[in-house]
Amino acid sequence: MIGLQQIATAAQDIIQICEQKRTNKADKAKLLKLQAAIFTHIEALTECEICGSITDLVVTMTIEPVTAKLCKDCGINAIEAGKIKKPVPRKRSTRTLQQNIPTTKKKSSQQQASPDNAGLYTEVEKQTSLKKTDIKRLHKIIQEIAGPMNLENTVLYVEREVELAKLKIEQDALRTAVALLMAA
């Protein structure tokens, strides 16, 4: 539980900084460091395959033919019972599932499955001189947009996401890449 405690400590530090009457550039730098620390600790958390709780201490246990990543409590229960009881997910009918999916989600999942993305990324790479990894990130950001958006608003949205992700991409290259990725 050390990871969760460190997240709580960093959150308290953020609250203390935010409660100050006047903040400055040094406070912003501290906030960014705390944010990075929180994200690092959150990424280190793992989910128990039995109860679904998240923790930084997970044990991979194999009893008979079943292997699972378990938290402390579920591991003790599995040892006492002599077997691992994984929860069985309920099956959903495909008809109900298809009715509940919004039309924009169907479109984005079809775009993700498209095999031409390698050719698209190569074309964008030639025209913008960006790395393929950056192009893939931009494409993912564009695909995650919930509804249809015009080119200018998409560029503004992607610029903001790029700033948040701290990617170093020139604005001209970004605009060209977004236009090409949206046209595909």
- Closest by alpha carbon to 176, among 119, 137, 130? 130
Domain match, 39 and 109 both: no
Instruction: Compute the distance between CA of residue 71 and CA of residue 3 in angstroms, rounded to an integer.
Output: 14
Question: Considering the domain boundaries, does residue 16 fall inside one?
Answer: yes
What average pLDDT score do residues 81-92 get?
A: 69
Number of H helices, E strands in the chain: 9, 4
Lowest mean pLDDT among 5-14, 58-67, 96-105, 169-178: 96-105
Predicted confidence (pLDDT) at residue 15 exceeds the cutoff of 50: yes
Place of tokens 């039995």: 50
Choice among 23-32, 54-63, 113-122, 129-138 with the minimum mean pLDDT: 113-122
When divided into structural domains, the chain yields a total of 2
- The reply to whether 123 falls in a domain is yes
Query: Comparing 114 with 145, which gets the higher pLDDT?
Result: 145
Determine if the pTM surpasses 0.85.
no
User: Quick check: is 25 in a domain?
Assistant: yes
Residue whose tokens read 């709580």 = 8
Please tell me which residue, 56 or 159, carries the higher pLDDT value: 159
Domain region containing 17: 2-44
| Claim to verify: residue 178 and residue 112 sit in the same structural domain | yes
- Which has the closest alpha carbon to 135: 182, 181, 183? 181
Does the residue 91 lie in any domain? no
Q: Give tens-digit pLDDT for 95-130.
A: 555 555 555 544 444 444 455 678 888 888 888 888
- Map 75-94 to HEC letters: HHHHHHHCCCCCCCCCCCCH
Q: For the residues 86-101, what does the mean pLDDT come to?
A: 58
